[in-house]
């Protein structure tokens, strides 16, 4: 595995952790005086992978180097 991480997760766990981190960061910076909309942060966290639903999980550099990848989507 990339980065030597032997633990694998699933999509639900990934979204949960991203949302929790986003919420905690928004709360922290708001307490420090920043004007952050925590609801908007949570919306972005929950929807950040929506494009992968339609386009797959293909990295930008791979997609640019392999234009034929569109035939397999």
Q: What would the pLDDT profile of 16-49 be if each residue is shown by its tens digit? A: 999 999 999 999 999 999 999 999 999 999 888 8
Q: How many CB atoms lie under 10 A from the CB of residue 41?
A: 20
pLDDT at 56 over 80: no
Q: Which strand (E) or helix (H) includes residue 43?
A: helix 38-47
Q: Which residue has the higher pLDDT, 68 or 1?
A: 68
Which pTM was predicted? Answer: 0.62
Q: Which residue has the higher pLDDT, 20 or 59?
A: 20
> What is the overall mean pLDDT for the chain?
80
pLDDT of residue 31: 95
């Amino acid at each position: 595995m990339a980065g030597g991480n032997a633990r694998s997760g699933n999509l639900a766990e990934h979204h949960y952790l991203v949302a929790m981190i986003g919420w905690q960061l928004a709360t922290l910076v708001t307490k420090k005086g920043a004007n952050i909309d925590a609801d908007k942060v949570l919306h972005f966290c929950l929807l950040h992978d929506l494009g992968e639903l339609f386009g797959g999980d293909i990295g930008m550099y791979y997609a640019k180097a392999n234009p034929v990848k569109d035939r397999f989507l």
